[in-house]
Amino acid sequence: MERKNYALAGETTEDQLTSVILATEVQEYKPLPGFHQRVRNLQYCRAQQDIDCDEVYPGIYIGDSLTARNKKYLKMLGITHLLNSAEGTRFGFVNTNSNYYADTTIKYLGLQVKDLPSEDIGKYFYTAANFIDEAMSTRGKAFVHCMQGVSRSATCVLAYLMIKKDMLACDALHLLRTNRDVRPNKGFLWQLAQLDNKLRRQRLTS
């Protein structure tokens, strides 16, 4: 995947997005979605121990692979759509598919993306955005995950916010960072910057 050096004034760059990550403080000590702070019994507390999930935008949740396998928790949240951005059986991937959720009402989408700067995640931007938008437009809830819920999944949600909500990349990344410690790798940030520039040019000519 060839990188072009854009020198045009006003264009979003990978460095700008990296600066947003460094400058945005993640909100700490938030209650887990679906749980109530005031409930203190032991069983209730144990149920939260293996959950890693944050609501990063109304109706959109990012989490890790262990949480994605917790169908009881997903049902409690009311998840209608699940996007696995790391589908696969190799190391660094999450070995689930539509069959895993066959006993639920969850609609599943799997993307086989490596968490590498050289990986072309951009080819899935519109696929991911359309899938998440389907959940939002039907008043559903979307759970997006990879292995840790940090890079691949966050990149997919950022693409949704940029494509469907007309958010600028810096603003979308700042929003996600305030709700979860997301850190897309440098290659993904570069691709998001290119998407941002493309979308802004389209808005200027429309």
Catalytic residues: 146
List the alpha helices (DSSP H) in the chain: 14-23, 42-46, 65-68, 71-77, 125-137, 152-164, 169-179, 186-205
**Using an 8 Å Cβ cutoff, are 121 and 152 in contact?**
yes
DSSP code at position 35: -
Name the pairing type of β-strands 142-145 and 60-63: parallel
Residues 6+ apart with CB under 8 A from 66: 50, 52
**If we measure between CA atoms, which residue out of 105, 71, 109, 103 comes closest to residue 87?**
109
Element (H, E) at 84: strand 81-84
Give the Cα separation of 72 and 12 in Å (integer).
41
Joined together, the tokens standing for residue 172 give: 């979308």
